[in-house]
Amino acid sequence: MSDGAPLLELDGVSKRFGPVQALDRVDFAVHAGEVIGLVGDNGAGKSTLVKTIAGIHAADAGKIRFDGEEVSIAKPQDATALGIATVYQDLALCDNLDVVANLFLGREEVSPGPGTISRQLDESRMEHQTGELLSNLAVTIPSLRSEVGTLSGGQRQQVAVARSLLGEPKVVLLDEPTAALGVAQTAQVLNLIKRLRERELGVVVISHNLVDVFEVADRIVVLRLGRAAGEFAADATTEEHVVSAITGVGSDGAKEKDEGTKS
Amino acid sequence: MSDAGATTAESSKGEITPRPKETIRRLVQGDLASLRVVIGLALIWAIFQFENDRFLSAQNLTNLMLQITATGLISIGVVYVLLLGEIDLSVGAVSGLAAAVMAVLNVKHGWSPYLAIAAAVAVGMAIGVLQGSLFSRFVVPSFVVTLAGLLAWQGALLQVLGSTGSINLTDPVITGLANTFYSETVGWVFATIVVGLYGAVLFLGHRRRVAAGLDSENLAALGLRFGLVAVVTIVATAVLNSDRGVPLAVMILLAFVVGMEYVVKRTGFGRHVFAVGGNAEAARRAGIPVNRIRVAVFGISGTMAAIGGILAASRLLAVNQNSGGNELLLLAIAGPVIAGTSLFGGRGSVWTALLGALVIGSISNGMDLLALSSAVKFMVTGGVLLLAVIVDAVARQQRQGLGRV
């Protein structure tokens, strides 16, 4: 799974907010067609790491390589231009707009014509593309013209993920995609994440829920107090090992596994 | 694992089925919302007709249409502001000031009427852009910015009018705006064009959806919509023709309603207005220039207020210290809200400007016919507005209950 050069690689990335060392020399890599579960306790630095990759906070130190080349990600547009899409926990959907409008928000297809005011939205083309994308992802939604506010939490999450794919990204970062979802909806979202992997995307999933992480992730990266506290192959470890890496209690086992996967 | 798979399959099956339910929901909150207003309007008309059989006479209906043009035009701009979830309290004062600018330039300085009108519209637009910039730059609530504007522009109106206090309009171009009626033939030609264009738009839209392989509304529904619009157009033309003819003012109002509805529903700019009104943060993250949209919308509001003020002055044949004052502001905001544009942003249409003005105009016109006092008129209009706002709030709560289960 982790053969070949990583798609996105962080090398000794640090980030400090005043007296708080939010990230301390973190190494991190995502390969194409791989799902990374990023876990850690509150304040461990998961969100900071994702925001650093997404260009919300620039890193203080360390290198970021994308497709093997060193890049600088100073603002969100840099990340988008590289092909890194982020789905934040609040999803950033407009509840009053339908699924099609939300998917194409800020990049609407317009018919050719003079002047921004007179150019008509190409609704048929957008609806057609939305239908194709959602059916490729096997996302089921009652109607493409339903207002997003009327959809269930799982459907909203799936719409947000589908929207991130419109820019043809290579890496997708998902912040707590299954938080506050019921069992069936969680399963839908996890299935969608597996389909992203099938599309050869690199996927990073932040989650508090280890059951979900074990269900989809190929590798699990643990952060603790801003440091990388262990890296596990999901099929070669147990929840206890991951939990002890998260909490730092009895972390010997974690270190063992850590070295096991790295060699 | 297999359990989870089974659950998914089951639940996704369960989520495909409520399609008819979804349709009903859309009907209740979408089309039926405006149907509700149409029924209310029919009821109002029936009551007044019952009380006074001159109410539905061609002459009175023509008067009614002329009475609502200024308010309706101002309400169009208000709809845009409401879609953002904001409010513009200055539209009344701006309409008065713009009319005064036009009157002073035309009457006192001898400007050509066209230039005077253009200058008045430019003043309205500039005021709107200024207020929108202050609101978005300093993050002051639009309520406060435009309340300050309300006072300031009223002062400016008095200043512009000077010591005379009132200016009579005599220029035929300006007075013609609200006092021109077209001959019967011209009226029918317009009606034919309107119906023909509407049919063409429906037909082309349908053909495009079919060509793109999308399921379209069935032809019966399309035919019904076409039939409704055709009947309303023909009846309205017949009624107007049997009195003085189709007024230019009404055609100006309709042209702006159709044009501004097109902009807000069919263009990228309009989509962004809805997005900012629905979730400004989401719009910002999607790369929409939120502040530019806000400034543009307040600019539109100021522009429409100026146009409404010009029409009002043309109808009154004068501009005075009371222009744009009294209850004009409140009626211009109340109209769209009564007709279903949400005060909370992100929901509504420009048609509610016309429908709302019709509802409020009918109540006021009918009570005038019954010779009721202003006291009663204000209280009844206030009651209708309160009712409409409550319906809006309840609908919003229901939506919130439905979503994000």
Name the burial class of residue B218, with classes exposed (0-12), middle (13-18) and buried (19+) by CB atoms within 10 angstroms of its CB.
exposed
Does B178 lie in the same domain as B144? yes
A23, part of any domain: yes
Between chain A and chain B, how many beta carbons pairs sit less than 8 Å apart? 131
| B244, B264, B292 - which closes a domain | B244
For residue B212, give how far its alpha carbon lies from the nearest alpha carbon of chain A (Å).
Answer: 6
Does B190 lie in the same domain as B83? no
Cβ B312 vs Cβ B53: under 8 Å: no
Q: Which of A96, A166, A195 to mutate to test the interface with B (most CBs of B within 10 A)?
A: A96
What was the pLDDT predicted at B245? 92
Is A184–B275 a contact, with Cβ atoms under 8 angstroms apart? no
User: pLDDT-derived band of residue A101, with 50, 70 and 90 as boundaries?
Assistant: very high
- Would you say residue B342 has pLDDT above 50? yes
DSSP-derived secondary structure letter, A35: E
A252, part of any domain: yes
For residue A160, give how far its alpha carbon lies from the nearest alpha carbon of chain B (Å).
Answer: 11
Taking alpha carbons only, the member of B329, B320, B305, B301 closest to residue B104 is: B320
Taking alpha carbons only, the member of B192, B230, B246 closest to residue B62 is: B246
Packing angle, helices B248-266 and B351-369, rounded to 10: 150
Domain harbouring A66, CATH code: 3.40.50.300
Does B168 lie in the same domain as B150? yes
Q: Which of B3, B15, B207, B258 to mutate to test the interface with A (most CBs of A within 10 A)?
A: B15
User: Bridge-partner residues for A30, per DSSP?
Assistant: A8
Q: Which residues in chain B are closer than 8 Å to A110, comparing Cβ atoms? A: 267-268
A94, part of any domain: no
**Tokens matching residue A97:** 């707009």
A229, part of any domain: yes
CB-based contacts of A154, cutoff 8 Å, min separation 6: A181, A182, A184, A185, A186, A188, A189
Does B63 lie in the same domain as B105? yes
Q: Which of B1, B11, B24, B84 to mutate to test the interface with A (most CBs of A within 10 A)?
A: B11
B360, part of any domain: yes
Taking alpha carbons only, the member of B116, B80, B70 closest to residue B252 is: B70
| B223, B244, B265 - which closes a domain | B244
Is A94–B263 a contact, with Cβ atoms under 8 angstroms apart? no
B196, part of any domain: yes
3-state SS, residue B283: helix
User: pLDDT-derived band of residue B19, with 50, 70 and 90 as boundaries?
Assistant: low
- Would you say residue B281 has pLDDT above 80? yes
B26, part of any domain: no
C-alpha A117/C-alpha B266 separation (Å) is 9
Is B275–A142 a contact, with Cβ atoms under 8 angstroms apart? no
3-state SS, residue B309: helix
What was the pLDDT predicted at A250? 64
C-alpha A104/C-alpha A96 separation (Å) is 14
Nearest Cβ partner of A117 from B267, B274, B281? B267
- Would you say residue B24 has pLDDT above 80? no
Does B260 lie in the same domain as B236? no
C-alpha A139/C-alpha A164 separation (Å) is 14
Query: What is the layout of strands, in order, in the sheet containing A20-30?
Result: A20-30, A8-17, A61-66, A69-71
**Tokens matching residue B267:** 């263009």
Q: Which of A97, A159, A186 to mutate to test the interface with B (most CBs of B within 10 A)?
A: A97
Is B278–A107 a contact, with Cβ atoms under 8 angstroms apart? no
- Would you say residue B14 has pLDDT above 70? no
A136, part of any domain: no
Count how many domains chain A has.
Answer: 1
What was the pLDDT predicted at B21? 58
Does B281 lie in the same domain as B151? yes
For residue A154, give how far its alpha carbon lies from the nearest alpha carbon of chain B (Å).
Answer: 9
- Would you say residue A11 has pLDDT above 70? yes
Name the burial class of residue B111, with classes exposed (0-12), middle (13-18) and buried (19+) by CB atoms within 10 angstroms of its CB.
middle
Cβ B399 vs Cβ A150: under 8 Å: yes
Cβ B290 vs Cβ B49: under 8 Å: no
**Tokens matching residue B172:** 């035929």
The residue type found at B120 is: A
Nearest Cβ partner of A116 from B209, B269, B345? B269
User: pLDDT-derived band of residue B164, with 50, 70 and 90 as boundaries?
Assistant: confident
For residue A263, give how far its alpha carbon lies from the nearest alpha carbon of chain B (Å).
Answer: 30
- Would you say residue A260 has pLDDT above 60? no
Is B268–A215 a contact, with Cβ atoms under 8 angstroms apart? no
Express each pLDDT in B172-195 by its tens digit.
999 999 999 999 999 999 999 999
What was the pLDDT predicted at A90? 84
Is B15–A131 a contact, with Cβ atoms under 8 angstroms apart? no
What was the pLDDT predicted at A41? 87
Does B79 lie in the same domain as B188? no
Give the strand pairing for A61-66 and A69-71: antiparallel
B123 backbone dihedrals φ, ψ, rounded to 5°: -60, -45
Is B4–A107 a contact, with Cβ atoms under 8 angstroms apart? no
A102-125 residues labelled b (16+ CB within 10 A) or e (exposed): bbbbbebebeeeeeeeebebbbbb
| B219, B244, B269 - which closes a domain | B244
Cβ B257 vs Cβ B72: under 8 Å: yes
Domain extent, residue B236, equals: 184-244
Express each pLDDT in B343-401 by its tens digit.
889 999 999 999 999 999 999 999 999 998 888 888 988 888 888 788 778 877 776 66
- Would you say residue A254 has pLDDT above 80? no
Cβ B333 vs Cβ B78: under 8 Å: yes
Give the strand pairing for B181-182 and B246-247: antiparallel
User: pLDDT-derived band of residue B206, with 50, 70 and 90 as boundaries?
Assistant: confident
Domain extent, residue A54, equals: 8-86+151-262
What was the pLDDT predicted at A76? 83
What was the pLDDT predicted at B25? 54
Is B11–A188 a contact, with Cβ atoms under 8 angstroms apart? yes
Express each pLDDT in A32-60 by its tens digit.
999 999 998 888 888 889 889 988 888 88
Is B278–A151 a contact, with Cβ atoms under 8 angstroms apart? no
Is B403–A149 a contact, with Cβ atoms under 8 angstroms apart? yes
A135, part of any domain: no
Nearest Cβ partner of A97 from B268, B275, B345? B275
Q: Which residues in chain A are closer than 8 Å to B287, comparing Cβ atoms? A: 106-107
Cβ A168 vs Cβ A195: under 8 Å: no
Count how many domains chain B has.
Answer: 2
Does B172 lie in the same domain as B116? yes
Express each pLDDT in B119-148 by its tens digit.
999 999 999 999 999 999 998 999 999 999
Supply the mean pLDDT for chain B.
87
Q: Which of B1, B10, B12, B84 to mutate to test the interface with A (most CBs of A within 10 A)?
A: B12
For residue B373, give how far its alpha carbon lies from the nearest alpha carbon of chain A (Å).
Answer: 42
A115, part of any domain: no
Is B15–A152 a contact, with Cβ atoms under 8 angstroms apart? yes
Is A152–B405 a contact, with Cβ atoms under 8 angstroms apart? yes
User: pLDDT-derived band of residue B216, with 50, 70 and 90 as boundaries?
Assistant: low
Is B22–A187 a contact, with Cβ atoms under 8 angstroms apart? no
Does B256 lie in the same domain as B179? yes
- Would you say residue B111 has pLDDT above 90? yes
What was the pLDDT predicted at A96? 92
B305, part of any domain: yes
**Tokens matching residue A126:** 């957008």
Range with lowest mean pLDDT among A13-17, A238-242, B58-62, B216-220: B216-220
**pTM across the whole model:** 0.87
3-state SS, residue B151: helix
Domain harbouring B81, CATH code: 1.10.3470
C-alpha B124/C-alpha B52 separation (Å) is 40
Residue in the block written with tokens 């089974």? B6
Q: pLDDT > 90: what percent of chain B? A: 66
Does B274 lie in the same domain as B213? no
Does B222 lie in the same domain as B212? yes
What was the pLDDT predicted at B205? 84
Residue in the block written with tokens 């050069």? A5
For residue A210, give how far its alpha carbon lies from the nearest alpha carbon of chain B (Å).
Answer: 14
C-alpha A169/C-alpha A7 separation (Å) is 11
B51, part of any domain: no
Cβ A245 vs Cβ A48: under 8 Å: no
Does B368 lie in the same domain as B353? yes
A40, part of any domain: yes
Chain B CA closest to residue A146: B22
What DSSP line would sit under B109-120, residue for residue?
Answer: S---HHHHHHHH
